[in-house]
Amino acid sequence: MEEKTIVEQLSEELTYSPKHACRLVEESEVATADSFCEGYKEFLNICKTERECVRYIVDAAKEKGFTEYDYDKKYSAGDKVYRINRDKSVILAVFGKKPCKDGVRIAAAHIDSPRIDLKPSPLYEDEEMALFKTHYYGGIKKYQWTAIPLSLHGVIFKADGSRVDVNIGEKDDEPKFVITDLLPHLGEEQMKRTLAGGITGEELNIVVGSRPLTNDKGGDLVKLNILKLLNEKYGITEKDFVSAELEIVPSMPVSDIGFDRSLIGGYGHDDRVCAYPAAMAAFDADSPEYTCISVLTDKEETGSDGNTGLQSSYLKYFIEDIAKAEGSEGYRVLSKSSCLSADVNAAFDPTFSSVYEKKNTSFVNRGIVVTKYTGARGKAGTSDASAEFMSFVRNVFDSADVVWQHGELGKVDAGGGGTVAKYIANLDVDVVDVGVPVLSMHSPYEVVSKLDVYMAYKGFKAYFEHK
Ligand code: MN
Ligand code: MN
């Protein structure tokens, strides 16, 4: 071997820059990552709403020996429990060898994604076409949601209180839905609009039918035909839409992206790409030192408000319950606890490089990104992880050979955003954001790297297992 020059030697010892995971791990681990992602792809194909995620994860948890949390039961090290919050959020917990009063380890991810909800009275007819009125959910670029195949998911409660589950537009033989856009030939005025106004909220109308009930004269026969079909299929009437939660999502299946199959394209990576690894890490946590909790929450995309979002008390109440069961106080447990706020960050996009600051941005394939702070402008709305906690997390990942990088959300003053981190920090818990870098975030077809998905799992697992 040639001797290293002083420059080479000092560069190696003193400088730091995150590297492509392929340069850091064995080929066998790349294969492990690829196979881990096959499970993730299946999850992403099946789970397109928060309710579907809860159902899938609870079923998988039961198979792994988790039981529904019972306040009156005494739990011991290694016991595994879940608690469902209104079918839209779920807490998974594995009791540790140490008592909860020594603190618990929390991984918090969200299972809601940007989408298009139906309005309470959605169905109308205009010139013999039937359409749904919608109200979009979360931060979307509206123009991206036109002229793509869409599916309808959700629940409807009928007059007698009985529940109907809806999932249509995913299978090959099922009809799909679409939001139409204007042809370029007649789009001259529309093309003068800004990108933000290219399609407005009230233009996000879903085409659901176009044939009349009969050839009778009379108004709204196409609408009536749709109501008849809905009544036959689901037993519902128009009034039942008022007591429903119906979500329109992209119906394109998940695919590998690239000749090398290194990436995954699909809807809802934000934040199921962290929720799935966080759930798997809880499933694989066998008798950990500290009690491990994965909380998979709803409503992050609209600000974490509401009783299924993390601004509500449901996580705090669960921790109070497990604290009381061992004769401790919930607030004491929380004060000693820590949390990885598991959410995605914006991956560097070579096509739009001007919004990123390369030294402090995450890149696909460089592992999970640790985001010390989020927020906008002068860190407004951030919880900003302490240097002490950053040191702990760095040590957890390095000691378990987790490939990780640091990053913030774009250039200073380029925009900004937030996660659930600050709401958990408000409970007096040490928190930092850790997640997977995403390309085309919040679009109908987001892109992540397989190696990063696997490193998220490895990272959450290392955090749960760290002594
Ligand atoms: Mn997110
Ligand atoms: Mn988001």
76-113 confidence digits (pLDDT tens): 999 999 999 999 999 999 999 999 999 999 999 999 99
CA of 210 to the centre of ligand 2 (A): 35
If one counts every other C-beta atom within 10 angstroms of the C-beta of residue 371, the result is 26
Ligand 2 centroid distance, CA of 438 (Å):
10
| pLDDT surpasses 90 at 230 | yes
| CA 318 from centroid of its chain's CA atoms | 22
Domain ranges (residues) in the chain: 16-113+267-465, 115-250
Instruction: Answer whether 460's CB lies under 8 Å from 395's CB.
Output: no
Question: What confidence category does residue 406 fall into, taking pLDDT thresholds of 50, 70 and 90?
Answer: very high
Mean pLDDT for the stretch of residues 200-215: 95
CATH code of the region 115-250 = 2.30.250.10
Instruction: Convert the pLDDT of each residue in 7-64 to its tens digit.
Output: 999 999 999 999 999 999 999 999 999 999 999 999 999 999 999 999 999 999 999 9
pLDDT tops 90 at residue 216: no
CATH number of 16-113+267-465: 3.40.630.10
Q: How far apart are the first and last CA of the chain?
A: 39
Locate tokens 């992880």: which residue? 385
What average pLDDT does the chain have? Answer: 96
- For residue 1, the model assigns a pLDDT of 63
Asked whether the predicted pLDDT for residue 467 surpasses 80, the reply is yes
Distance 229 CA to ligand 1 centre (A): 37
Neighbours of ion ligand 1 (CB under 5 A): 270-271, 343
**Burial status of residue 390 (CB atoms within 10 A of its CB: 0-12, 13-18, 19 or more):** middle
Rounded distance from Cα 253 to ligand 2 centre (Å):
20
Give 258-311 pLDDT, tens digit per residue.
Answer: 999 999 999 999 999 999 999 999 999 988 999 999 999 999 999 999 999 999
Separation of 104 CA from ligand 1 center, angstroms?
23
Q: Which residue has the tokens 């760095």?
A: 394
User: How much distance in Å is there from the Cα of 441 to the middle of ligand 1?
Assistant: 9
**Alpha-carbon distance 441 to 461, whole Å?**
25
Residue 67 confidence (pLDDT): 98
pLDDT in tens, 280-292: 999 999 889 999 9
How far, in Å, from the CA of 150 to the mean position of ligand 1? 21
- Distance of CA 308 from the midpoint of ligand 2 (Å): 16
Measured distance CA(127)–CA(148) in Å, rounded: 23
Name the percent of the chain lying above pLDDT 70. 100
Say how many Å lie between the CA of residue 300 and the centre of ligand 1: 7
Phi and psi at residue 104, in whole multiples of 5°?
-120, 160
Q: Is the pLDDT of residue 460 over 70?
A: yes
Residue 218 has pLDDT above 90, yes or no: no
pLDDT of the residue at 122: 98
CA distance 48 to 250: 9
